[in-house]
Amino acid sequence: MAPNERLAALSAAGVSIWLDDLSRERLTSGNLQELITDKSVVGVTTNPTIFAAALADGQAYDAQVRELAARGASVDDTVREVTVGDVQQACDVFSGTWEHTGGVDGRVSLEVSPLLARDTEATLAEALDLWKAVDRPNLLVKIPATREGLPAITRALAEGVSVNVTLIFSVERYREVMAAYLEGLEQAAANGQNLASIASVASFFVSRVDTEIDKRLDEIGTDGALALRGKAGVANSRLAYAAFDEVFQGKRWAALTAQGAKPQRPLWASTGVKNPDYPDTMYVTELLVADTVNTMPEKTLLAFGEHGEVRGDQVTGAAAQAQEVFDALEGVGVDLTDVFRTLEDEGVDKFEQSWRELLDTVKGQLDGAT
C-alpha cells in the first residue's frame, strides 16, 4: 500500500507524526509497523492512561502475567516488566527510523510514575532506572514539568538521559522547561557527555487548554466571551513557539550547538479535539510548522489522513495575533494564571488516577492467575 498522501505531505512539511498510543497488540499484530509504512508515523508516546487501557483490554498480556504470578512478582514489578518490555519492542520497531533520521525521530516515550510528580529525588531516581532498564538509545523518559520536576529534568539530562518533558500548559512554565534543558546540557558537557546523543522534546498541551477556558467563557456568557471559544489552545501554542524561537536563537544556545547539541523540539500534545463542534484536525492544521512534533491519538491520525489539509506554516510570525486572543481573554475576565495552575494540578491528578487504575488492573490479573 502506498503511503497516505495527506500524512506524507504533513511529514514533508517538517512535522514529525507520532502516535499517542502503544499496546502489545499493536506490536505483535504488525499494526505499528503498518502505521510507520502507510501513515508516516515516526514515533510513539505513552502515558499511564494508555498502559492502563492496554492492560485492561484483551488478552495480549495474559501469558506474561501468568508467568510473573508464578514467580511471585509484585504488582510494581509486574507493571515495570510489562511496560518496559513493550517500550523495548517499540524502540526496536523504530530503530530504522531512528538511524535514518540521525536520532531525531524513531523515539518512544516512557513516563516515570506520576505518583512521584511532586518529588524531585524520586523522579530523578526512577528516570535513571528506566533509562538503564529499557537500554535503548531511542528512548525518551517522560518527566512532568512540575516545579519539582524541573530540577529532575536538568539532572537527568546531565547524566545523558534523553527526556520528553510532559504536562506543559503555560508559556511561563515552558520557558522554565527550556532553561532546565539548557542547564542540563551545560552540565552534561561538563560531565563529559556527548551532547549529540541527547535528545529532548517539550510536550505542550493543546486541547485541554480550550476545554478549561471554554468552560469559563461559557460561565461568563457574554457575546464577547463566547466569541473566544476554541481559540485559546492554538493561540497559547503559537505563543509557546515564539518563545522557543527566541530561546533557540540566542548566544547561550549557540555555544551548545557548537558542541553538537540538538534543539529541544516543541511537541504538540493532547491534539485530539475534545469539542465535536470543532474541526477534528484543527490542532494539526493550525499548528503546522517545521521541526515540530505532533503526537496524535489514532482517531486524529486517521481523520487527518482522510481529510486533513496542509496549508503551510501556520505558526511562525503569528505571536502578535495570538497575544491579541490572550488579551481579549483577560479582558472578558478569564484568570489565566488560575487556568494554568488548574490544568497542571488536574493533569497530574488524572495521570495519578490512571496509574492507580493500572496497578489495580495488574493486581486483579495477578490474583486471577494464581
Residues that are catalytic: 142
- How far is it, in rounded angstroms, from Cα 309 to Cα 315? 15
| C-beta separation of 174 from 243 below 8 A | yes
Residue with cell 545523558: 160
| C-beta separation of 65 from 365 below 8 A | yes
CB atoms within 10 A of CB 218: 11
| C-beta separation of 103 from 199 below 8 A | yes
Q: Label the pairing between strands 41-44 and 107-111.
A: parallel
Alpha helices in the chain (DSSP H): 5-12, 24-29, 31-39, 48-56, 62-70, 75-93, 95-100, 120-134, 149-158, 171-190, 207-220, 223-226, 232-247, 251-257, 282-285, 298-307, 319-331, 336-369
Query: Length of the chain in residues, anyone?
Result: 370
Burial of 59 (0-12, 13-18, 19+ CB in 10 A): exposed
Judged by DSSP in three states, 295 sits in strand
Burial of 82 (0-12, 13-18, 19+ CB in 10 A): buried
